[in-house]
């Protein structure tokens, strides 16, 4: 478990104190679990969990050309965002391949905040710089710590500590200058677990105090610290893409189930031509979700079969702690990309029965 | 945490001699490392296992690992309860979480396994 060359968040000592097991993730030494993946997963589905996601990158784009820059960079339509609103979007290459998937929030008329993946922050920053016109690009990753408070009790827990309140914040909206237990934060109602929840940005060095205060305040509600292990099983049950696994520079949003984020009619953007052509010609493969029919667990890289022939590969796979079965994602030719289609997954050389299902695997009740 | 009457393999299996049979499981260290065990692929009764060769597979939420036989011989019992309750491997690795029982073909192989003191050194824990 050598940590040489790995970056640490300001919460590293707090993770050690709470007995976290640490792993390398995207160049960072991060907690993979505290009490155990299944227990933490269940806590987020039934109560609440607190995640350190300070490793993620924050990039601000500000200036007269900020909106045009954002519009050029992403496939989704930022022009419809009022101040305080945000959206999820891929950022594409001219080929339509995905540079990264990110959230972007409109912090002001001419100021936007990108929240990007940890492992791709440097690449994203260079890409944003290269395409920014008449706008300043600032990497704020080193100064902003990010905590994610997720689960059905998240809203009640946060409301106790915030002035003004956070409970009324609509989904995918952000508010700055919020006092959370004496720490000045921005709060967005967003997350990566399939549950209601918030992402809370604060100054890097204030995060340890905020972390402890939140855990104390939420203890009676069942709030527990959660590591990247459960973050991955939660996001997979919710069928949220993991960059580097399910999507990357060789896959397009139309092949992944992200067609809804591609607004071909919004005007020019990087990748538009390729995506338009792909839409007209039809995709050659699609990312689908599948469930195991027999007791087996699919893993990333396992071959997907139909009639004994390889048709694709799993990009993610796990045992879903909440849905209690083996679940996975993978690319297959379009003729197999319909719910109900039976496929096999090659598990240690043996075909095991699976079925393509409608995504997500888990959806919270409203 | 690490019973003194067991022998330990470098792959984190334990072996307990019970008369002319050997009960096999994985150590607390391995169970903790795997975290939540959700699936154990077991051999059939009658299968032949070979010293330090894979005889089954254990999967946690996150990882897949082979199970290695700490002794060669015939499998005479299989813990079928693990099919429905694989988590017992985590909660009781030396008791209800046992995996197979082997009738050894060469009991001298057990001498090649580690004592608890040797094993604790390998995993970097104090006795």
Is residue A208 within 8 Å of residue A14, measured between CB atoms? yes
Query: DSSP character for A102?
Result: E
| Secondary element (H or E) of residue A129 | helix A121-131
Residue A3, pLDDT score: 55
Residue A1, pLDDT score: 43
> How does residue A2 score in pLDDT terms, banded at 50, 70 and 90?
very low
Residue A246 and residue A316: Cα distance in Å, rounded? Answer: 7
> Which residues from B are below 8 Å from A318, CB to CB?
61-62
Residue A100, pLDDT score: 98
Chain A contact present for B91, CB below 8 A: no
Residue A344, pLDDT score: 98
Residue B126, pLDDT score: 58
Q: What is the pTM of this model?
A: 0.95
Residue B101, pLDDT score: 98
Residue with tokens 């792993």, as numbered in its chain: A23
Reported as a single tens digit per residue, the pLDDT across B10-41 is 999 999 999 999 999 999 999 999 989 999 99
Give the mean pLDDT of A141-145: 98
> Which residues from B are below 8 Å from A296, CB to CB?
39
Reported as a single tens digit per residue, the pLDDT across B96-112 is 999 999 999 999 999 99
From the CB of residue A237, how many other CB atoms can be counted at a distance below 10 Å? Answer: 23
- DSSP output for A292-360: ESSS----TTPEEEETTEEEEEEEEEEEETTTTEEEEEEEE-GGG-STT-EEEEEETTEEEEEEEEPSP
> Which residues from B are below 8 Å from A36, CB to CB?
35-36
> How does residue A165 score in pLDDT terms, banded at 50, 70 and 90?
confident
Give me the total of CB pairs closer than 8 Å, taking one residue from chain A and one from chain B. 36
Reported as a single tens digit per residue, the pLDDT across A195-205 is 999 999 999 99
B62, A318: Cβ pair inside 8 Å? yes
| Secondary element (H or E) of residue A131 | helix A121-131
A233, B35: Cβ pair inside 8 Å? no
Give the mean pLDDT of A71-82: 98
> How does residue A152 score in pLDDT terms, banded at 50, 70 and 90?
very high
Reported as a single tens digit per residue, the pLDDT across A247-294 is 999 999 999 999 999 999 999 999 999 999 999 999 999 999 999 999
Gap from A33 CA to chain B (nearest CA, Å): 9
Residue A196 and residue A166: Cα distance in Å, rounded? Answer: 12
Break chain A down into helix, strand, coil percent, rounded to 5. Answer: 25, 35, 40
Strand order in the sheet with B48-49: B7-8, B13-18, B21-26, B100-104, B73-78, B48-49
Give the mean pLDDT of A86-108: 98
Give the mean pLDDT of A85-89: 98
Gap from B19 CA to chain A (nearest CA, Å): 35
């Amino acid at each position: 478990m050598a940590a040489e060359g790995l970056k640490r968040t300001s919460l590293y000592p707090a993770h050690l104190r709470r007995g976290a097991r640490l792993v390398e993730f995207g160049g960072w030494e991060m907690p993979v679990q505290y009490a155990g993946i299944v227990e933490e997963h269940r806590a987020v589905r039934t109560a609440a969990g607190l995640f350190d996601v300070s490793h993620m990158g924050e990039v601000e784009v500000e200036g007269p050309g900020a909106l045009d820059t954002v519009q050029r960079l992403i496939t989704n339509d930022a022009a419809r965002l009022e101040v305080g609103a945000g959206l999820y979007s891929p950022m594409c290459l001219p080929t339509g391949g995905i540079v990264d998937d990110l959230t972007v929030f409109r912090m002001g008329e001419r100021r936007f905040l990108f929240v990007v993946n940890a492992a791709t922050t440097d690449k994203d920053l260079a890409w944003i710089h290269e395409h920014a016109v008449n706008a300043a690009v600032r990497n704020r990753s080193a100064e902003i710590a990010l905590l994610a408070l997720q689960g059905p009790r998240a809203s009640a827990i946060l409301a106790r500590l915030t002035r003004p309140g956070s409970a009324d914040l609509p989904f995918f909206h952000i508010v700055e200058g919020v006092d959370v237990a004496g720490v000045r934060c921005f709060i967005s109602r967003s997350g990566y677990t399939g549950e209601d929840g918030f992402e809370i940005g604060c100054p890097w060095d204030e995060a340890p105090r905020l972390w402890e205060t939140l855990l104390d305040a939420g203890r009676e509600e069942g709030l527990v610290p959660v590591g990247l292990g459960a973050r991955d099983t939660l996001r997979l049950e919710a069928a949220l893409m993991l960059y580097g696994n399910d999507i990357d520079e060789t896959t397009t949003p139309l092949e992944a189930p992200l067609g809804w984020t591609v607004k071909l009619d919004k005007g020019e953007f990087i990748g538009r031509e390729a995506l338009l052509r792909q839409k007209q010609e039809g995709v050659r493969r699609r990312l689908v979700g599948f469930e195991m029919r027999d007791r087996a667990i699919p893993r990333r890289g396992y071959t997907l079969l139909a009639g004994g022939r390889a048709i694709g590969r799993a990009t993610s796979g796990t045992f879903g702690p909440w849905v209690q079965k083996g679940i996975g994602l993978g690319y297959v030719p379009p003729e197999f990309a319909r719910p109900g289609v039976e496929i096999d997954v090659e598990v240690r050389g043996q075909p095991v029965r699976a079925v393509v299902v409608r995504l997500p695997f888990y959806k919270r009740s409203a | 945490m690490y019973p003194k009457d067991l022998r330990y393999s470098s792959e984190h299996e334990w072996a307990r001699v019970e008369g002319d049979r050997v009960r096999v499981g994985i150590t607390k260290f391995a169970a903790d490392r795997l975290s939540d065990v959700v699936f154990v692929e077991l051999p059939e009764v009658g299968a032949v296992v070979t010293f330090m060769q894979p005889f089954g597979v254990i999967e946690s939420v996150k990882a897949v690992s082979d199970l290695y036989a700490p002794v060669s011989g015939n499998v005479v019992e299989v813990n079928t309860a693990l099919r429905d309750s694989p988590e017992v491997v985590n909660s009781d690795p030396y008791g209800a979480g046992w995996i197979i029982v082997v009738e050894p073909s060469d009991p001298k192989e057990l001498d090649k396994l580690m004592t608890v003191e040797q094993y604790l050194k390998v995993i970097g824990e104090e006795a």
